[in-house]
Amino acid sequence: MRYGSTGIYLLLASMCCASPAAAQTTGASPQQDKAVAVALAERGWDHYEAHRYTEALHAFREAEAKAHAPAFLLMVARCNVKLGRLLDARAAYRLIVDEKLAPGAPPAFAEAKASATEELAEVEARTPTVEVTITGATPAGLEMTLDGLPIQRSTPVQRDPGTHTLVVRWPGRRPLTRDVQLTEGTGRDRSGHPGRAAGG
């Protein structure tokens, strides 16, 4: 499912009022907000097509803030995938998948929901998981952090691909710091190329 500027315009033209959870109090009329959302989405699409994913992400987020549409969130998720931010992408996909569509919602809403369901499964397969195992007796007071966030031993946690910093601390010893390189699991990206095999 792809959205060019024409497709986005037609989507907005057929949109129902924004859901209460997504409605914004901007002082502008709904029609004005939708017009701004159309312009932002068109800009976002241009950036996306030009592989300027950071700029595209910003534009689609602003469009979604002006007028809620699952298609905007879908593009937010796709931009995050392109940027390697798989956890943020997963969160955006889940918002779409979990949304209950109102009766009479535009067909594009249901199409975006179906696409999000499929792409969420792909992202789940690609998201790296790290698990720290300590052999032997565990020192009293041992604490571990990954990128500054506490983790528990032998408990899998998910992170984006890239380099992450593991720090192990326990009383009476100097902290042990290690860089952990995480690669994507086996999946398929939106261009159909296989994802990289996960590292050890």
- Domain-by-domain residue ranges, the chain? 5-126, 129-182
| Biggest alpha carbon–alpha carbon distance for the chain | 66
Query: What is the model's pLDDT at position 26?
Result: 52
One-letter identity of residue 84: G
d(CA 159, CA 87) in angstroms, rounded, equals 7
Query: What is the model's pLDDT at position 183?
Result: 92
Per-residue tens of pLDDT for the chain, all 200 residues: 455 544 554 455 454 334 444 444 456 677 888 889 889 999 999 999 999 999 999 999 999 999 888 999 999 999 999 999 999 999 999 999 999 998 888 888 888 999 999 999 999 999 999 998 888 888 889 999 999 999 998 899 999 999 999 999 999 899 999 999 999 984 433 333 333 333 33
CATH architecture of 5-126: Alpha Horseshoe (1.25)
d(CA 193, CA 186) in angstroms, rounded, equals 10
What are the b/e assignments for 121-156, b being 16+ CB within 10 Å?
ebbeebbbeeebeeeeeeeeeeebebeeeebeeeee
Partner residues linked to 168 by β-bridges: 144, 176
Contact in structure between 71 and 3 (CB atoms under 8 Å): yes
Query: What is the model's pLDDT at position 7?
Result: 52
Query: What is the model's pLDDT at position 21?
Result: 43
Query: E strands, the chain, where?
Result: 129-130, 143-146, 149-151, 157-158, 162-169, 176-182
